[in-house]
Every structure is written in C-alpha cells, then in structure tokens.
Structure 1
Amino acid sequence: MSLNNQLGSLWQWLLNFFTKGHPRSLEAKKNIMVSLFIKGASIAIGLILVPLTIHYVNPSQYGIWVTLSSMVAWISFFDIGFTHGLRNRFAEAKANGNKELARTYISTTYYYIGIIFIVLWILLIIVTQFINWYKLLNVPASMEKELTVLVMLIFSYFCLQFIFRIINTILIADQKSAKASLIDMLGQLFSLLIIFILTKTTRGSLLYLALAIGIAPTLILILSNFFFFNTAYKEYKPSLSYVKKRYAKDIMSLGMRFFVLQIAAIIQFESILFLIAHYFKPEQVTPYSIAYKYFFTLQMIFTILLSPLWSGVTDAYNSGDMDWIKNAIKKYLIILAPFILLGAIMLAVSGVVYDIWVGKEVVYVKFSLSLLCYIYFSVTMFASIFVSVINGIGALRIQFFSSLVTPVLFLSLSIILIKQFHFGVESILLSSIVSNVFGYIIAPVQVYNIFYKKSEARIWYR
C-alpha cells in the first residue's frame, strides 16, 4: 500500500471516529480530543510551576505552601455533597428535557453553597487567630504571623473558588468537560505569568505566592460564570426565584452519600502532606510532592479520557442503554493498558527527569517514593473506571460503608508503619494503596454483578 493510501486510510478512520457512532459517544469523543490539548497545556504549566515556585521561595517554604494548601482543601467537605448531587440531578433533568427543573437545581445549589461558604469563611478567619500554625507545621516560631496571614489568604480564595467552581460541575455534567478544563488552564496560565514576574521583581515570599496562585484562578472562574450564564447557559441562569428548599433536599438525598465519600477521600488524601510535615519535616513534603506531581500527569491525562463516563453512564442508565455502558467499560480498560506501560517507562527514567526538572542539588527524590507513586496511580486509574460507573448510576451504598472504614484503615496503618516500623515517608503511600481496597476490588465486583451477572440482590443497586 502506498504512503498516500495509508494516509488516506488513517484520515478516513479519524473522520469516522469523530463523525460516526452513538450521539452520546460522539460528544464524549469531541470533548476528549479538545480536553487532551487543553490538559496537555495544563500539565506543561504545572510542571513549569514546580521548579519556578521552589526557586522563588525555597524547598522548605514550598513544603509549607503545599501542606497548607492541602489542609485548606479539607474544608471542601462542607459543601455536604451539593456539587456531586447537582452533577447527577442536572444531567438527569437535561436528559429528560426538563429545563425548568435543571435551572432550579442550579439556582438552589448556588444559593446554598454560597451561604455555606460565606458563613464558613467568617468562622475560619476567626478561628485561625487562635491556632498555632507554626507548631502544627513544625516550623520556627518566627513564621507565626506570616503563616496566619497566609492561611487567611488561602481560606479566602478557596471559599470563593468553591462557590464559582459550580460552573465547572455544570459543564462536566453536560459533557462539556473541555470547557471546564479550559477554565482551569487559563487560571494556571495567569498564575504562572504572575509568579514569573514576581521572580524578576521581588524577593521570595509565601504571601506573594499565595496571591499569585489564588487571585488569577478566582477571577477566571468569576468571569466564566458571567460568560456562560449570559450565552450558552442563559436559560439555566441562577435566579433567587428558582431557589427551592425541597429541591435542596432532593440534591442532598444523593449528595449526602457523596458527602460522606468526600470526607473519607479528604481524610485520606489531603492529610498525607500534613502527616509528612508533622511526623517528619516540611522539607520532606517537597520530594514527595515532586514524585506525586510527576506521576499525577498520567492520571490527569487518563481523567480527561474518563471525564465523560460518569455523566454518560447517568444518561445511558436512565435511557436503559446498558450495552453502551458495558462497551464503555471495555474500551476504558483497553485504554488503561498503555498508561500502565507508560508509567513503567516514567519510573525507569524518573531520576533523570527529576534532575532536569528541579535539579538534583535542590531536591533529591528516592526511587522508593517514585515506585510507590507509580503503583498508587496505576491502582487509582484502574479503580476510577468502575467508581465512575457506580457514581453515574448512584448505587453508592456499598461505597458509602466502605468509605467509613477507609480513612480509619489509612490513618491507623500510616501511624503504625511510621512509629513502630520506622518506614519513613513511604509508609504513608503504602497505606494509601492498601486502604483503597474499594476502588480496585469491591467496585469491579459491584459493576460485574449489576451489568454482567444481572444479580437480583438489591444491595448492588442501592
């Protein structure tokens, strides 16, 4: 076959891939392709931000910054499941052609999330004054005032972002994940530009860093809300007249289950950096964070491909299209294989990449940390396929009860490995892998019983 014929065949295959198939699948494919380019830019920006930020402050201050940002993320569970509940309810209402109901869900979510996080912000600003952050983070007392102001800044922009990030939930629920990715990427890009300017004009400062990383994404989110609700989503624009208390309960009936799952995830994943800083030193957060970000690029790309699955499953399940769901699971498992292989290659060259990326003289990352990060993300990507399907159909009871055990198992195992066996930072990653048993064992079993075995046992469907 000639080169022209080969190119012609490839072009025809690509054309068919993006123009033929189920409308639900076509929408997902288009969003995935655009998201890949956008997330590719986000990954590049994120990778540039790490060495730029470390050199702007220093490895110890960077560790403090990453730890505090992680700890502040704990307050996200105060949304009590509203955003996750909205994602399913909005997708269901739109699939049924009920625009009035969809607008009611959006308006009600904005209203209650706004109240929750405004009140929470006021309380956090007050409470912050009475916490000895320098003791909590194991840093010199001379940093007390700086840390207090830093925490207040992080709290402020986090609460604002959580309110206005609802637009991302709506876009993802509507299978427009590429647009949600674009919003995040623009926020990152402007933060990068501001930090670059700071490196040329100011001395390293945690406070300036907080402003640079916080202000730009917050403004982008606010502007995105105004843009989308005056254009493509004008008919869903939030309005006080559409706020209905009874629909808040409807969102929360599903959302409360997601709320418990959020708490479990936050306790497990967001406490990792605090445990490292508390039981070791803030400097130890930096090598962990670098290894984590390096392998996280794999999951970021996989998440782009996976992002349409949740809402697609919700739509397909409500339409009775079980074949679409089974085909989607099969395709995602096939897609996962090259990611696992690529991760192994990344592991093999990780030492060289770290040296080029941040400099060996700045931070040293042990191979054991890289190995455990690779295993952790491989397991997480596999689990995310089945968890997305379960979340999409709202069959959360088994996941709910598993989530009550997961954080207890994680914290207990981490402390035992640190105090009794002196495993070091690696013990926390190992505990994360072991405790995530629902995702890579129980969730696949549940999906098998629902879609393949068609079990009559009600527990799988609840």
Structure 2
Amino acid sequence: LWVYDPTGDVERDFVTISWVQAVTGCLPLLVATIIVFAKDLKECLPSFKYFRWDKATGVLSLGILFLVLQLLYMIITVTNEFFISYFFDPSFVVEYQIYIKIFSIAGTFVSLALIPVWSAVTKAFVEKRYDWIIKLVRFLYFVAGIAVLFQLAIIPFLDPILEFWLGEKAIEVNLSAALLFALLGCVMIWVSVLTSVVNGLGTLKCQLYGFLWAVLFKVVAIVLFSSWIPWTIVITATIVGLLPYCVWQPVVMNRQLKMLNKEAFQNG
C-alpha cells in the first residue's frame, strides 16, 4: 500500500499525483491483459500476421469518429467551470458545482444503467433483431421519463436538501438557476439514452452534426451574451445548443429502425 506524503511544493505534488493516477489506472489493465491472453485466450493472442489494411481502415475510421464525438461531448459538458471562471467570476463556480452535483444524480444512475445497452444493441443489430431494439428504445424512453420527473421533483425540496448537505454553508436557492440545472439534467439524460442506442447501431452522422452545432452555439452564445447576462448563460447555451440533436436524433433513429424492421419482415 503506497501512502502519498505531500512535500509542500504544489507543482511537484501535482505532477506526482498525476503519475500515480496514470500508473494505477493503466497498470492493472496491462497486467490483466497479459494474463488473460497468456492463459484463457491464448488462441486469440493478437498477431501482426492477421493484420489487414482494408479492415484496419474501416475500424480506424469508425474509431476516429468516436474520438471526435467524445471530444465534442467533453467540450459540451466539462468546460462549464472554465467558461464561468473566465467570463464571470471564479466564485460562481462554487454555486455551479452545488447545483450540478444535485441535478446530476438521476443522470448518473441512468448512465450506469445504460452501460450494457451499447453492446446489446450492437449484438441485436448484427442478428437483425430490430423489433427487439425498437422495444428496448421504448423502454429507455420510459426510463428517461421517470428520471426527468425525478429531476423536476427535486426543486421543491432543494432548500432542505442543501441545508442537510451543507449545513451553515448552504447557499440561498435561486429558483431560476435551479430550473435551468433541472432542465440541463433532463437534456443530458435524454442525450445519454439516444447516444447509447445510436452508438450501438453505428449511425453517428446525426450525432456528429448535433454535437458540433452544440459546441459552436455554446461558445458563440457565451462570448456574445456574457457581458449582459448572468453566469447561467453557460447553462442556457448548453441546453439550447443540444436541443436540435435531442429533437432530430429520435426522428432519424426511429425511421431507420422501422425501415430495417420492415425489410427484415419482408425477407422473412
């Protein structure tokens, strides 16, 4: 067991913690991979003799697209503190973190529940069980609806929740800010449901355009309106930027699934 002992040098401590985080995150996976391929999956050991450029191009193209989508999604979701600090005041980051922690609880549970959906949808897609995917999508819409209701139900109880959590350091609830964060949580839940399905289907064009628009809109809106709108413009810009994707992706996805299911039914 390694115990970290701070030296008092902030820069050095930060680098040390970064190295520890990198090693502890990667080393167990590396060791486990070596053990698994040396024993249980010995016959599946990767080899350069099986390498094919034509196959690699397709895999890498899809992988790069997923990487771009992840980068865009990171800009949408993890840059809020930066924008608030840069365009407004770092003190508002504290208020932001309090709201976001509360209104991301439902989204966190939904995201955990959605972990196996991607692979399950991919398997069903390969097996042409499109009717099963359609039923799954309807169920996920129902789950998202329950999570959205939970998000909105938090608002009336926000004062006692903050007092219980923060005690004397509890902030005064801003109802408009609370509504915005509740809406942001609802949007992120909906986005999680949609992306878990379309990622499994491998149809990423709508997601790419939607996320790209959300990033551009968010940055431009913050730059243009930050001088005369409070820091909550960061949240508003995120919500409004994602709305076109939230509306258009289900239309495209449902149309694709119905078409595939109809073709599979006609082909017997």
1:15-74 alpha-carbon deviations (Å, 9 max, x no partner): xxxxxxxxxxxxxxxxxxxxxxxxxxxxxxxxxxxxxxxxxxxxxxxxxxxxxxxxxxxx
Tell me the CA shift for residue 410 of structure 1: 1.3
CA distance in 1, matches of 2:23, 2:48: 23
Alpha-carbon distance in structure 1 between the residues aligned to 2:219 and 2:108: 26
One of 209, 213, 225 as aligned partner of 2:30: 225
Equivalent in 207, 216, 238 of residue 399 of structure 1: 207
Give the drift of 1:305. 1.2
Structure 2 vs 1, CA of residues 340 and 401 (structure 1 numbering), >3 Å: closer, same or farther? closer
1:295 aligns with 2:100: no
Could you say which residue in structure 1 is the equivalent of 2:115? 307
Residue 374 of structure 1 aligns with an amino acid whose one-letter code is A
Equivalence for 1:153: none
Matches within 5 A, 1:318-357: 318-357=126-165
Structure-2-length-normalised TM-score: 0.80
Which whole-Å CA distance do the structure 2 matches of 1:323 and 1:430 have between them?
Answer: 37
Kindly indicate whether the alpha-carbon contact (under 8 Å) linking 1:295 and 1:374 is maintained by their aligned counterparts in 2: yes
Structure 1 residues 402 and 344: CA distance shift in structure 2, 3 A: closer
State the match for 1:165 in structure 2: none
Answer yes or no: is 1:411 the counterpart of 2:200: no
Structure 1: 5+ residue runs without aligned partners? 1-189, 457-462
1:437 to 2:249 alignment: no
Structure-2 change in CA distance of 1:214 and 1:254 (3 Å): same
What residue in structure 2 maps to residue 387 of structure 1? Answer: 195
Aligned equivalents of 2:90, 2:76: Cα separation in 1: 19
Distance in 1 separating the partners of 2:181 and 2:14: 27
**In structure 2, the residue corresponding to 1:404 is in which secondary structure?**
helix
Task: Tell me by how many angstroms 1:361 deviates.
Answer: 2.9
Q: Secondary structure at the match of 2:169?
A: coil
Residue 423 of structure 1 deviates from its aligned partner by: 2.2
Q: Does 1:372 align with 2:187?
A: no
CA contact (8 A) 2:131 2:261 kept: no
- Tell whether the 8 Å contact from 2:119 to 2:200 is kept in structure 1 after alignment: yes
Give the deviation of 1:442 after TM superposition.
0.8
Q: Residue 281 of structure 1 aligns to a residue in which SS?
A: coil
Q: AA paired with 1:426?
A: T
| Equivalent of residue 271 in structure 1, options 70, 79, 82 | 79
Identity of aligned residues (%): 20
Could you say what secondary structure the match of 1:215 adopts? helix
Partner of 1:253: 61
- Matched with 2:258 is 452
5+ residue gaps, structure 2, are 263-268
Q: Quote the residue 2:265 is aligned against.
A: none
Distance 1:220 1:409, change over 3 A: closer
Given the superposition, is the C-alpha separation of residues 313 and 438 from structure 1 closer, same or farther in structure 2, using an over 3 Å criterion? Answer: farther
> Which residue number in structure 2 is paired with residue 158 of structure 1?
none
Q: 1:337 to 1:229 in 2, by over 3 A?
A: farther
SS in 2 for 1:436: helix
Confirm or deny: 8 A CA contact 1:261 1:403 kept in the other structure.
Answer: yes
- Residue type of the alignment partner of 2:236: L
Cα pair 1:277 1:284 within 8 Å, conserved? yes
Secondary structure, in 3 states, of the residue corresponding to 1:358?
helix
In structure 2, C-alpha distance between the alignment counterparts of 1:254 and 1:229, rounded to whole Å:
26
Structure 1 residue 445: Cα displacement: 0.3
Distance of aligned partners of 1:286 and 1:213 in 2 relative to their CA distance in 1, 3 Å threshold: farther
- State the TM-score, normalizing by the size of structure 1: 0.49
| Structure 1 residues 371 and 360: CA distance shift in structure 2, 3 A | farther
Aligned partner of 1:444: which letter?
A: P
